[in-house]
Structure 1
Amino acid sequence: MNSKRFALITGCGKGGIGHALALEFKSQGFNVFATLLSHEPREHLTEAEIHAYASDVTNDEDVTTLKEAIESETKSGYTMTAMDTDVREVERMFSVNVFGPMRMVHVFHPLLIRAKGTVVNIGSVGGIVPYVYGSSYNASKAALHHWGNTLRVEMKPFDVKVVNIISGEVGTNILKRDQSSLRKLPENSFYRPLEKDFESHINRIPATTPAAEYARSVVAEVIKANPKAWLWTGARAGEVRFWNAFFPVTFWDWLFTREFGLNRLRQ
């Protein structure tokens, strides 16, 4: 076992970041274990000789069962204004984006320590800047970043590395949930004057980095002997990093007010 390298990747539905990362780790010679939800097909993984498991990271029993299965053989978006947010949606998002990784580390940390492994958190520039209509997603990623920071310090004595990936725009299925649900502003929303703009935002096609290219940059960094604590990668990640470092925090207020036409709400 010491001569093999293993990667466990959660949330590997077809066409997403997890799927791309699983393929890239596999191409680098890793023995890859991937999770997806029970209703999701797994052929895109099994055909690539990737071990696929139905596992919900919001469920303690599922994660424990996953750990036992791996031992025997040797991981969503919500677009809405902050004031109109359905807290139930946010709770589900935090269950996946924050509590899921926490649960995985809690269950798997003995294996991580034994292997002197690496925890990779898929964060986002949304966790850095106040991207309009993304407050809940932004909050979940910011929480993940800061949890990962502390985890990195606490795991260092055990030679376990923790890497936060600050992802820019990546070509995935993240927008499809909002599009397929025909998400709209509530009837009584103070943002109703921007209703058409909101719907256009939901159905936008952003300029993105292909998932496979993104995965190559992530895996290339993660497999280094001393990877960066934070890796900024994906379309616009470099711009966000520069502006966030050298401009006042209120720069984002000006930029997004202008980009989203928020001054029209004053009327």
Structure 2
Amino acid sequence: MSINRQKTALVTGASSGIGYATAIELSKRGYQVYAGARRLEPMELLKKYGIMPIQLDVSSIKSVIEARDKINEETGGYLDVLYNNAGQSCTFPSLDVTDEVFKQCYEVNVFGPMRMVREFRKLIINAKGVIGFTGSLSALLPFPFSSVYSSTKAAIHQYASTLALEMKPFGVRVVNIVTGGVSTNIADTRPLPEGSIYSVEGMKEAMKERQQMAVRNKPMDADKYAKQVVDDFERIGWFTLFSNVYRGSQTVLVRFVSILPRGLLEWGLIRKFLLTNVFQTIREKYSKTKIE
């Protein structure tokens, strides 16, 4: 990073939660911060920290290019931190999720970050900067009714890992933050669709337990999380050997649980999310009834 210019950062999904808190933390450390989100209104208060809110929809190439051109012109072609944080939740049974829902989830969680990296590559390389991603513990465990969301995060984990290798000759670091519980409002509260094959007694309670998983497991405060993440972006030395870091609550527990035998792991998840009776009811129902 050049000492003759102010450091710059772009945070996507900055209208609330992790993105909002990280934009503030970067600003406090002297960065000129661009806070991107689809809606500008929730980011108005960021201006008091000297942060510049910009309209940015990572699922739109037109929006991404407009943001890139603006930042390129105003920074002289440098971006020290690109934090791909924008995310779309999706808590649905695999058998119920619609094309519209899973396409949107992939657009925001996977294709959006890929699009951002490609379009901002020159600015990041010029700065020999850092590219960050908000990964998830959901990529490590088969949390029920999270197949779409978990698969997007697994895709980003592997994308970030390979990108880290490819960016080495340019002097650019890649940091994937495998995120546990953080106090945000990302939880998906949509009910099961009408006519779901899972609509049996007890399923409503099981879905509620799954949707409130993060809230009920002592999530880390977003401000504390943001401080750790910015530390990760600024750390040098031995840290550059690794592209994955683990932040948020329950990360140690989940990493341990993820290596358990599959049968034991599934048994534990079924019990935790109140699915024992639900699954038994479904087995009994469809062992006697043809699905029409």
Say yes or no: TM over 0.5.
yes
Unpaired runs of 5+ residues, structure 1, are none
Aligned to 2:289: none
Distance 1:255 1:29 in 2: 46
Q: How many pairs align?
A: 261
Distance 1:53 1:119 in 2: 19
> How far apart are residue 133 of structure 1 and its match?
1.8
Tell me: CA distance 1:249–1:154, structure 2 relative to 1, closer, same or farther (3 Å). farther
Structure-to-structure mapping, 1:155-170, within 5 angstroms: 155-170=167-182
Computed over aligned residues only, the root mean square deviation of the Cα atoms, in angstroms, reads 1.8
Q: Give every structure 1 segment of 4 or more consecutive aligned residues whose post-TM-superposition deviation is greater than 4 Å.
A: none
> How far apart are residue 6 of structure 1 and its match?
1.6
Aligned to 1:237: 251
1:219 is matched with which residue: 204, 215, 230? 230
Aligned to 2:195: 187
> How far apart are residue 147 of structure 1 and its match?
0.7
Tell me: CA distance 1:59–1:78, structure 2 relative to 1, closer, same or farther (3 Å). same
1:209 is matched with which residue: 220, 225, 243? 220
CA contact (8 A) 2:180 2:251 kept: yes
> How far apart are residue 185 of structure 1 and its match?
4.3
1:177-201 residue CA offsets vs partner (Å, 9 max, x unmatched)? x33xx52343242342333213532
TM-score, structure 1 as length reference: 0.91
Unpaired runs of 5+ residues, structure 2, are 76-85, 282-292
Distance 1:162 1:119 in 2: 5
> How far apart are residue 103 of structure 1 and its match?
0.3
> How far apart are residue 261 of structure 1 and its match?
3.0
Aligned to 1:259: 272
Distance 1:85 1:158 in 2: 40
Structure-to-structure mapping, 1:60-99, within 5 angstroms: 60-74=61-75, 75=86, 76-99=88-111
2:127 is matched with which residue: 93, 115, 120? 115
CA contact (8 A) 2:180 2:246 kept: yes
Corresponding letter in the other structure for 1:146: Q
Distance 1:188 1:196 in 2: 12
Corresponding letter in the other structure for 1:127: A
TM-score, structure 2 as length reference: 0.84
> How far apart are residue 248 of structure 1 and its match?
2.7
Corresponding letter in the other structure for 2:34: F
The 3-state SS of whatever aligns with 2:145 is coil
For the pair shown, the structure with the greater C-alpha radius of gyration is 2
